[in-house]
Structure 1
């Protein structure tokens, strides 16, 4: 790899593999509200919140952690205002007292909060306006979960940047990603440059998966897989990824390391690879390098799709995990390519209908497809050029899926949101 691209790949991992506590859309709302409260610096008497459709979709049914079981946009805003520590970003409500939880309920009862849809070119768009006794403030986040694009106090603009362009300007260029260079990077990267990121992903995500398997969370998808199918490594890989989601979607207060802005994607891209590494007694170095493959393959797919869409992000992460497993078990560039194409051919039709307990089931199905895609390759089987969305060349197939989800499923996304809000 060129030295420039090598450094970019390291920076991409640093930007994406960050900690978050709670589903990232409610947390983005809490972060925006917390920032707006800081800017206002006044007693709040009213709040106006505008959100894009995908925020509505992904906040509606998921429990906001550290709120005593609250759900929804207003609850996320209340959590950020009452207990948010803005400097902790996606862990903005990680430290909440019982007194603050009670205060959230009281705040929701006494402070009027207007919520309305926001027409936007960005699937992820949040605007929080707070009215105080003497001042008012407005903060907007767009493009990705922590990307503040506008700050205003008393109608004076404090900060502003273009909504659409800001995401591209704020992050390292993802168009540099491709499967060949991901493979070469995983082989040659100096692990000291990324070891801490990857070890934190292992520690955080395995801990919440264990919590999901040991206690009753959500629909207990992970537990059901193990009880029904046994502990073969292929089932354990699905179960651990699903169990992490079981816990997280139902309000577990343990942090995870995310991928492409999503905790579910971060767990799905990592946990199956971790389970396989432990089963086959792989070295620490082998696991790290396999996680690099799984994480970057996931990010590469998501680059063409976008952070939020009608296309289930678990698919990208499940296929990424399959690629990581292929690498872990000795697979070369060709093995990763075939795993990617085979897996995408199997599950690319899964829709995203918001964050909620059933995400765990979609994760299990996506991990299964990633693993099956690898074992198909091992047995000399493949889906071929011209079959559905599969094209010759892995990058062409990835591009097809990106166009399907980013452009072709826009109307599907609108219909999903309409049906969910009936």
Structure 2
């Protein structure tokens, strides 16, 4: 292990990345991005529109179609998210912009029934793209979000451009190419814990609360509850807590989560299994925070190569991150951690993302299960080796392959999934 000093560029970058990525969001982040854009467009127009035109990329359609928009009385879909943003959105709160929308459920439902809204599927070379145009009388406003959930690249009103910028996702974010496994490992062992504690403590508090909500009440397919009814071993409990958080989040729970890589499900998967293991083994709170930092940074590193949205299920990368965090908790060294990641990815890298919905919880459970199998494999002297499918010698080369698979290899898969969903409507 090398000691990483504060003066090291990566030391400060990794702190910044954690703070940029681990932010609160309410509900599935794609419908919330739509609500955020609608609130911005309404504010620009200065009044409630009489007509709304919505242009979205296919992956937005995929990730909004089947998920409940929180605080709307269990409404689903693009138009519901737009209506919530128009009626109750507070754009200053970004991904928590409809946190108080439940007070206006009737107004949202009424607007959804009466406001003319048109939806257009666009493909302009961006996986993540939202363009919202609000009209009233002879006036209009336009908001363009691209490449990331709150990355507004254009604001326009009555043919006057009020704001514009480059669309590149990372334009205002810390360079993710600075991430690599050896440096992440050095960082989590040497970082002054007070510098990352606040953001991780918030993740612990928020994500634990929604997991317990999911285990206590009825949400979606109740995957967390089903798992808890099967067995009481530690692996099952870790899977159940992560799944229960998703059960609640995908099915209308009003509690926020702390996300990872733009995804609440990935934030839940990175954190909850690590928390379950930390409690069971009574590890120190400081070691827990270091393990959480590892889990989150590993997931971000993996997801950077894949991109914001893909047909590659993000639970897979987050599950591998959780496996790394748990391996660290249990005194695993660098080799144990990296082999846990590789073994996990070798098992479940074929899992597709077919949108946000109740079954995400089951995919999370499968990903956590694969991570723990990968950990146990290496503990017992077993591993998948270079040449086994997409696995190659060296953790970074394997992660490059995973990124290529998710970013390039699954493009057509993503297109077919979107086509199926559009044909169904």
Q: Give 1:76's aligned residue.
A: 81
SS of the residue 2:101 aligns to: coil
SS of the residue 1:136 aligns to: strand
Following TM superposition, by how much is the alpha carbon of 1:97 offset from its aligned partner in structure 2, in angstroms?
A: 4.3
SS of the residue 2:50 aligns to: strand
Structure 2 gaps of 5+ residues are: none
Q: Give 2:44's aligned residue.
A: 39
Q: Output the CA distance in 1 between the equivalents of 2:137 and 2:344.
A: 56
- Correspondence 1:200-349 to 2 at 5 A: 200-228=202-230, 230-349=231-350
Q: Output the CA distance in 2 between the equivalents of 1:136 and 1:258.
A: 33
Q: Output the CA distance in 2 between the equivalents of 1:97 and 1:404.
A: 40
Q: Output the CA distance in 2 between the equivalents of 1:244 and 1:130.
A: 35
Q: Give 2:192's aligned residue.
A: 190
Q: Give 2:129's aligned residue.
A: 125
* Residues 160 and 211 of structure 1: CA distance in aligned 2, closer, same or farther (over 3 Å): same
C-alpha deviations, 1:206-225, integer Å up to 9, x for none?
11001111111110101111
**Correspondence 1:52 to 2:57:** yes
1:111 to 109, 115, 138: 115
Q: Output the CA distance in 2 between the equivalents of 1:301 and 1:97.
A: 36
Q: Output the CA distance in 2 between the equivalents of 1:38 and 1:87.
A: 11
2:201 to 182, 199, 202: 199
Q: Output the CA distance in 1 between the equivalents of 2:101 and 2:76.
A: 16
Q: Give 2:91's aligned residue.
A: 86
2:166 to 154, 158, 162: 162
SS of the residue 1:256 aligns to: strand
User: Is the deviation greater in 392-401 or in 34-43?
Assistant: 34-43
2:27 to 14, 18, 22: 22
Following TM superposition, by how much is the alpha carbon of 1:133 offset from its aligned partner in structure 2, in angstroms?
A: 2.3
SS of the residue 2:163 aligns to: strand
Contact 2:57 2:123 in 1 (8 A): yes
State TM-score, norm by structure 2: 0.97
Structure 1 gaps of 5+ residues are: none
Contact 1:42 1:133 in 2 (8 A): no
SS of the residue 1:114 aligns to: strand
Q: Output the CA distance in 1 between the equivalents of 2:122 and 2:151.
A: 17
Q: Output the CA distance in 1 between the equivalents of 2:48 and 2:239.
A: 48
* Residues 347 and 50 of structure 1: CA distance in aligned 2, closer, same or farther (over 3 Å): same
Q: Give 1:136's aligned residue.
A: 140
- Correspondence 1:166-181 to 2 at 5 A: 167-181=169-183
- Correspondence 1:388-407 to 2 at 5 A: 388-407=389-408
Q: Output the CA distance in 2 between the equivalents of 1:105 and 1:234.
A: 42
1:11 to 13, 16, 26: 16
Q: Give 2:411's aligned residue.
A: 410
SS of the residue 2:275 aligns to: helix
Q: Output the CA distance in 2 between the equivalents of 1:298 and 1:154.
A: 42
Q: Output the CA distance in 2 between the equivalents of 1:122 and 1:43.
A: 29
C-alpha deviations, 1:28-52, integer Å up to 9, x for none?
0000000111111034110000000
Q: Output the CA distance in 1 between the equivalents of 2:69 and 2:46.
A: 25
Q: Output the CA distance in 2 between the equivalents of 1:96 and 1:413.
A: 32
Contact 1:318 1:370 in 2 (8 A): yes
Contact 2:48 2:86 in 1 (8 A): no
SS of the residue 1:318 aligns to: helix
Contact 1:198 1:288 in 2 (8 A): yes
SS of the residue 1:421 aligns to: helix
SS of the residue 1:44 aligns to: coil
Contact 1:42 1:135 in 2 (8 A): no
Following TM superposition, by how much is the alpha carbon of 1:18 offset from its aligned partner in structure 2, in angstroms?
A: 0.1
Contact 1:298 1:319 in 2 (8 A): yes
Q: Output the CA distance in 1 between the equivalents of 2:48 and 2:218.
A: 40
Following TM superposition, by how much is the alpha carbon of 1:120 offset from its aligned partner in structure 2, in angstroms?
A: 2.0
C-alpha deviations, 1:361-405, integer Å up to 9, x for none?
000000001111111111110001101000000000000010011
Contact 1:209 1:244 in 2 (8 A): yes
